[in-house]
Amino acid sequence: MKTNESFIPPGDPRQQRLLKRSGVSKYRNKKTVYNGVKYDSKLEAQTAVELDLLLRANKILGYRRQVPFELLAVAYIPVGVYVADFVVQHFHNTYEVIECKGFETPVWKLKRKLLEARFKTMQYNHFLTVKKSKG
């Protein structure tokens, strides 16, 4: 079996430096511009297209992108910030958080649990939606 001498394992600090130099993003997503706004991935831009269509069809009241949520640990101590890709306002004052992911990382799984725990006491209809890319 032939080995690649230049292989750098994921998580190695050298990998991040190489990715920055090559212009490739960490998760190989492709930045996409839609309606004059730069999105972090094609999936995120496609979600914005879908939300605009729903807005024009009066199926939703509105949406915001890149909405920060403070993450809290035990005893309500702030431990970080999660930035949602989209927060959609439906009729009857219900909200939905949409997160566009190529795949679920361990960090995302932890943030998801902290976010769900924080909003468990509030009345949300279909609170969190994770959209995954195909492929």
Name the average pLDDT for the chain: 77
| 63 pLDDT higher than 80 | yes
Q: Which of 31, 68, 64, 28 is nearest to 48 (CA)?
A: 64
* Average pLDDT value for residue range 44-73: 92
Residue 2 has pLDDT above 50, yes or no: no
Where does the pLDDT of residue 64 fall: very low under 50, low under 70, confident under 90, or very high at 90 and above?
very high
Q: Is 40 helix (H, G, I), strand (E, B) or coil?
A: coil
Q: For residue 58, how many C-alpha atoms fall within 13 Å in the half-sphere facing its CB?
A: 0
Higher pLDDT, 9 or 97: 97
In the predicted model, is pLDDT for residue 4 greater than 50?
A: no
Please give the pLDDT value at position 48. Answer: 95
At 117 the pLDDT is 77
Rounded Cα–Cα distance for residues 36 and 78 (Å): 34
Instruction: Give residue 3's pLDDT.
Output: 45
Domains of the chain: 35-132 (3.40.1350.10)
Give the span between the Cα atoms of 131 and 135, in whole angstroms. Answer: 12
Q: If pLDDT is split at 50, 70 and 90, which confidence band does 102 have?
A: confident
User: Taking the chain, what is the end-to-end CA distance rounded to the nearest angstrom?
Assistant: 28
- 76-80, 100-104, 124-128: the lowest-pLDDT one: 124-128
Q: Say if residues 36 and 45 touch (Cβ distance below 8 Å).
A: no
